Amino acid sequence: MSEPSCPTRAPALLSPWRRRCQWGATLLLLLIPWFRIKGDSLLRVDIPELSLYFFGQTLRIEELYLVLLFSLLLTLGFLLITMVLGRVWCGWLCPQTTLTDLAEWFARRLKFKPGRDNSLFKKSVLHCFYLLLALLVSANLLWYFIEPQVFFIKLASGQMHYATWICLVLVATIIYLDMALIRRLMCSEFCPYGRFQTTLADETTLALHLPESELVRCIECNSCVQVCPMEIDIRCGYQVECINCGRCLDACRQVMAKRNQPGLISYSFGTSGKGVKALFNVRTLLLSMATLALSVILVFAVYQRPEASLKISVSHTVASRVLQDGSRATFFNAWVNNRSNKNASYEIIARQAANANPLTLKGQPNGITLGPGGNLRIDFVLITPVSEARLEVDFILLDQTGSELANARAYID
Ligand code: SF4
Ligand code: SF4
For 389, residues 6+ apart whose C-beta sits below 8 A from its C-beta are none
- Of 40 and 77, which is predicted with more confidence? 77
Q: How many helices (H) and strands (E) does the chain have?
A: 12, 16
- Ligand 2 centre to CA of 275 (Å) is 23
Whole-number average pLDDT of the chain: 88
Q: State pLDDT tens for residues 122-138.
A: 899 999 999 999 999 99
Say if CB 310 and CB 408 are below 8 A apart: yes
Give the residue whose CA is nearest to atom 1 of ligand 2. 252
Please report the pLDDT score of residue 37 as a whole number. Answer: 85
* For the chain, percent of residues with pLDDT exceeding 90: 50
Please report the pLDDT score of residue 3 as a whole number. Answer: 44
Closest ligand 2 atom, residue 220 Cα: 5
Average pLDDT estimate for 49-67: 78
Please report the pLDDT score of residue 272 as a whole number. Answer: 60
Query: What Å distances lie between residue 228 and 78, 335, 345, 346, 372, CA to CA?
Result: 25, 57, 62, 63, 52
Of 94-98, 142-146, 187-191, least confident by mean pLDDT is: 187-191
Of 22, 224, 230, 239, best ligand 1 pocket probe by most atoms within 8 Å of the beta carbon: 230
Give the residue whose CA is nearest to atom 7 of ligand 2. 218
Ligand minimally distant from the alpha carbon of residue 223 = 2
Confidence of residue 241 (pLDDT cuts 50, 70, 90): confident
- Does residue 5 register a pLDDT over 50? no
Give the residue whose CA is nearest to atom 8 of ligand 1. 245
- Ligand 1 centre to CA of 383 (Å) is 73
Give the residue whose CA is nearest to atom 4 of ligand 1. 242
Please report the pLDDT score of residue 192 as a whole number. Answer: 84
Confidence of residue 253 (pLDDT cuts 50, 70, 90): very high
Average pLDDT estimate for 2-14: 65
| CA pair distance 30, 98, nearest whole angstrom | 13
Please report the pLDDT score of residue 388 as a whole number. Answer: 67
Closest ligand 2 atom, residue 235 Cα: 7
Helix axes 64-85, 282-303, angle to 10 degrees: 150
Please report the pLDDT score of residue 240 as a whole number. Answer: 82
| CA pair distance 145, 125, nearest whole angstrom | 31
Confidence of residue 24 (pLDDT cuts 50, 70, 90): very high
Give the residue whose CA is nearest to atom 6 of ligand 1. 228
Q: Residue 412: CB within 6 Å of ligand 1?
A: no
- Does residue 373 register a pLDDT over 70? yes
264: number of Cβ within 10 Å: 24
Q: State pLDDT tens for residues 271-314.
A: 665 666 777 788 889 999 999 999 999 988 887 888 888 889 88
State the Cα angle at 108 between 104 and 111, rounded to 5°. Answer: 140
Please report the pLDDT score of residue 9 as a whole number. Answer: 67
Of 245, 254, 266, 268, best ligand 1 pocket probe by most atoms within 8 Å of the beta carbon: 245
For 376, residues 6+ apart whose C-beta sits below 8 A from its C-beta are 335, 336, 368, 370
- Of 92 and 306, which is predicted with more confidence? 92
Average pLDDT estimate for 157-171: 95
- Ligand 2 centre to CA of 366 (Å) is 77
Average pLDDT estimate for 3-15: 69
Ligand minimally distant from the alpha carbon of residue 88 = 1
- Does residue 212 register a pLDDT over 90? no
Helix axes 15-31, 95-109, angle to 10 degrees: 110
Confidence of residue 2 (pLDDT cuts 50, 70, 90): very low
Say if CB 138 and CB 166 are below 8 A apart: no
- Ligand 2 centre to CA of 300 (Å) is 51
Say if CB 32 and CB 53 are below 8 A apart: no
State the Cα angle at 307 between 304 and 308, rounded to 5°. Answer: 130
Of 6-10, 212-216, 275-279, 313-317, least confident by mean pLDDT is: 6-10
- Of 98 and 390, which is predicted with more confidence? 98
Say if CB 298 and CB 73 are below 8 A apart: yes
Of 47-51, 79-83, 113-117, least confident by mean pLDDT is: 113-117
| H helical segments located in 143-178 | 148-157, 162-177
Please report the pLDDT score of residue 57 as a whole number. Answer: 77
Average pLDDT estimate for 356-384: 87
Domains in the chain, CATH or no CATH each? 1-34+86-273 (no CATH), 308-412 (2.60.40.10)
Please report the pLDDT score of residue 145 as a whole number. Answer: 96
Confidence of residue 193 (pLDDT cuts 50, 70, 90): confident
Q: State pLDDT tens for residues 334-348.
A: 989 887 778 899 999
Q: State pLDDT tens for residues 383-405.
A: 988 776 788 999 999 998 989 99
Confidence of residue 8 (pLDDT cuts 50, 70, 90): low
Residues framing ligand 2 (Cβ under 6 A)? 210, 218-224, 235, 251-252, 255, 264-265
- Of 2 and 25, which is predicted with more confidence? 25
Give the residue whose CA is nearest to atom 2 of ligand 2. 252
Q: Residue 245: CB within 6 Å of ligand 1?
A: yes
- Ligand 2 centre to CA of 222 (Å) is 6
* For the chain, percent of residues with pLDDT exceeding 70: 95
Q: State pLDDT tens for residues 41-56.
A: 999 998 887 778 888 7
